[in-house]
Amino acid sequence: MERIDNVFYSYANKSSGLIDPEGIEALCSDLEVDHTDVRILMLAWKMKSEKQGYFTLEEWRRGLKALRADNVHKLKKALPELEKEVKRPTNFVDFYSYAFQYCLTGNEKEKQKSIDIESICQLLDLALGFQFRSQVDYFIDYLKIQSDYKVINLDQWMGFYRFCNEINFPGLSNYDPELAWPLILDNFVEWLREKQT
C-alpha cells in the first residue's frame, strides 16, 4: 500500500493532493502511451475515476490494487491484461457507458447531461472505434454534416452501441424506425440509405 501511495505522490500536485492533467501527462510519458490512448480511459474506468483529468488517492489505490501493480513498470505490464478485461462483453457495456459519464463536465450539483458533437466524435473513435470501425466512421461522418443536434445524451449514446450490436451493417435490413430507436439513429439510417442508392 505504501508503495502504491508513493507512486501516487510522485505524480500528484502538492497543493491539491490530486493527480491533475499535468500529472497524468507525466504518468503517460512514463508508461510510454499517448494521453489520448484508449488505455488511459480504461485505466480511469478501472479506478472508477469520477472527474476527467484527475485521479484521487482513493481511486488510484482502487485501480492499482486491482491491477496488482505497485510501481510504474508493473502498471505498464498490466495494461494489455486490462485491455482484454475491458473487451469482455460483460465489461464492455459498463466501460462504454462509463466513457460517456467520465466525459461530462461540471460539478455534482450541476452536472451536464450531454456532450457536444465534436467531443462525442472523438470519444466514439476512442471507445468504440476498435470494435465497430465501419459503423463508427459512418456515424462520425453523419454527426459532422447534420445540423439537428448540437449535443448527444446518454440515451442516444447507449442507443448507438445497441445499434452496432443488433443491426446488420451496412445492409441495415433489420432496422425498423417504428421501434423506439432514438430519432438521431432514424435520421442516420435514412442518410445511410440515401447514400447507398
Partner 1 sequence: MEIELEQGWEIVLRGFNKLKNIVEGLPEPQFTSEDYMKLYTTVYTMCTQKPPHDYSQQLYDRYRESIEDYITSTVLPSLREKHDEFMLRELVKRWTNHKVMVRWLSRFFHYLDRYFIARRSLSPLNEVGLTCFRNLVYLELNGKVRDAVISLIDQEREGEQIDRALLKNILDIFVEIGMGQMDYYENDFEDAMLKDTAAYYSRKASNWIQEDSCPDYMLKAEECLKREKERVSHYLHSSSEPKLLEKVQNELLSVYGNQLLEKEHSGCHALLRDDKVNDLSRMFRLFSKIPRGLEPVSSIFKQHVTGEGTALVKQAEDAASNKKSVGLQVFVRKVIELHDKYLAYVSDCFQNHTLFHKALKEAFEIFCNKGVSGSSSAELLATFCDNILKKGGSEKLSDEAIEETLEKVVKLLAYISDKDLFAEFYRKKLARRLLFDKSANDDHVTDLTLARENQTSFEEYLGNNANANPGIDLTVTVLTTGFWPSYKSFDLNLPVEMVKCVEVFREFYQTKTKHRKITWIYSLGTCNLIGKFEPKTMELIVTTYQASALLLFNTADRLSYSEIMAQLNLTDDDVVRLLHSLSCAKYKILIKDPNTKTISPTDSFEFNTKFTDKMRRIKIPLPPVDEKKKVIEDVDKDRRYAIDASIVRIMKSRKTLCHQPLVMECVAQLGRMFKPDIKAIKKRIEDLISRDYLERDKDNPNLFRYLA
DSSP character at residue 19: B
Q: Cβ closer to partner 1: 23 or 182?
A: 182
Does 194 engage in binding with partner 1 (CB under 8 A)? no
What track of x and - describes contact with partner 1 for positions 96 through 115 (by CB under 8 A)?
-----------------xx-
Whether cis (ω within 30° of 0) applies to the bond prior to 170 is yes
As given in the structure block, the three cell numbers for residue 35 are 494521453
Return the number of the residue (145 or 180) whose C-beta is nearest partner 1: 180
Q: Which of 60, 57, 29 is nearest to 43 (CA)?
A: 60
193 binds partner 1 (CB under 8 A): no
- In 10 A of CB 145, how many CB atoms? 7
93 touching partner 1, by CB under 8 A? no
CA–CA separation, 34 and 10 (whole Å): 19
Of 16, 133, 155, 170, the one binding partner 1 by CB under 8 A: 155
Based on CB atoms, which residue is closest to partner 1, 82 or 189?
189
Interaction of residue 195 with partner 1, rule CB under 8 A: no
Q: Which residues contact 9 (CB under 8 A, 6 or more apart)?
A: none
One character per residue 22-61, x = contact with partner 1 (rule: CB under 8 A): ----------------------------------------
Residue in 174, 170, 155, 60 with CA at minimum distance from that of residue 115: 155
**Residue from 174, 179, 196, 197 that binds partner 1 (CB under 8 A)?**
179
Stretch that binds partner 1, among 30-38, 51-59, 66-74, 152-160 (CB under 8 A): 152-160
Closest CA to 128 of 90, 99, 85: 99
C-alpha cell at 21: 492533467
Residues at the site binding partner 1, with contacts judged by CB under 8 A? 113-114, 153, 155-156, 158-159, 162, 178-180, 182-184, 186
